[in-house]
Amino acid sequence: MEPLNLLYSIDDSYVDQFKVTLFSVWQNATAKNMAVYVLQKKLLRRNDEITEFCGQLGLAYFPVVIGEEAFKDAPTTNRYPETIYYRLLAHEYLPEHLDRILYIDADILCLNDIVPLYRLDLSDKLFAAASHTSDTNIPELVNKLRLRNFESEGYFNSGVLLMNLELGRQEVRRQDILSYIEKNSLLLFLPDQDILNALYGHKTLLIPDQIYNYDARYNILYFTRSSGKWDLDWVIEHTVFLHFCGRDKPWKKDYRGRYSALYKHYQHLTGRIKT
């Protein structure tokens, strides 16, 4: 059986968080045959540690080194670092035999099986993603006006992306992305996410955020939205990806969010994997 292809984009400062995320995916997946690809500008200093960690879990690890020159002509600033291009142009750097891959941010905890999402029929869609209106705190209609994509089903969060690599190689073009940034830089709040929505929102399949991209900051809103159904027990039983969006992160000592203990539990289990 073909492996589940997983994609991450990290630097050396995020290796520990990446390991917790990856362990939680592995722990809860019904299929353990996985190939892990990590986008990185240059080979991570902790590359050997990642290799050993993946080996302990029986996973194949493939560092994808973008290189120092890959985006030297692309528009970049402190607000738009070159890493914003990595996810959207991942198909340019991944092996051509891969037809799909699941991108996961490293500030995410997996609570349930990823296989149903991974096997989702994408048909003619480039991506599958969940919609987070809270990402910009801007009403959906205003986002559509701002990004001029009225065919999109919502404002998609780029933290979890199921990618149709086969179609992406045909339709996602580097120059389209660079040109859009040059023309619309003043309108972009979350650059790669805005570009995803502006250029490819109409080609993105909407998946439920309470299942596949639950924003841990807004548990009260989820509870209210569901008339009290989506409580802690429901999340643990049904939610696949718990996303710790924003500046407050559960690995920080001063974090007091509702899911702090849950994250620390997986962090503890990850620490038991000796490398």
Pick the range with the lowest mean pLDDT from 58-62, 78-82, 168-172: 78-82
Share of the chain above pLDDT 90, in %: 68
What is the edge-to-edge ordering of all strands in the sheet holding 108-110? 108-110, 241-243, 214-215
Confidence of residue 152 (pLDDT cuts 50, 70, 90): very low
The confidence band for 186, taking pLDDT boundaries of 50, 70 and 90, is low
Find the farthest-apart pair of alpha carbons in the chain and give their distance in angstroms, rounded. Answer: 52
Structure confidence at residue 190 as a pLDDT band (50, 70, 90): low
Task: Name the residue range of residue 49's domain.
Answer: 4-271
The two tokens of residue 89 are: 């142009």
| Structural domains in the chain (count) | 1
Name the residue among 127, 125, 104, 124 with its Cα closest to residue 114: 104
Question: In Å, how far from its chain's centre is CA 245?
Answer: 11
At 267, phi and psi to the nearest 5? -60, -40
pTM: 0.90
pLDDT band at 10 (very low <50, low <70, confident <90, very high): very high
Q: How far is CA 54 from CA 176, 177, 221, 270, 273, in A?
A: 36, 33, 36, 11, 10
Query: How far is residue 215 from each of residues 102, 114, 166, 237, 242, measured CA to CA in Å?
Result: 18, 17, 29, 16, 6
Using a 10 angstrom Cβ sphere, with 0-12 exposed, 13-18 middle and 19 or more buried, the burial of residue 49 is middle
Q: Mean pLDDT across the stretch 230-236?
A: 95
Q: Write the CATH number for 209.
A: 3.90.550.10
Residue range 149-159: mean pLDDT, rounded: 67
Overall average pLDDT of the 142-165 stretch = 69
Write out the H or E segment, with its range, that includes residue 4: strand 4-9
pLDDT of 136 over the 60 cut: no
The answer to whether 9 touches 83, Cβ cutoff 8 Å, is yes
Cβ count near 88 (within 10 Å): 25
* CA dist 269 → 19, 203, 248, 254, 259 (Å): 11, 38, 22, 21, 16
Task: Read off the DSSP letter of residue 259.
Answer: T
**Average pLDDT value over all residues in the chain:** 88
Q: Of 62, 159, 44, nearest to 110 (Cα)? A: 159
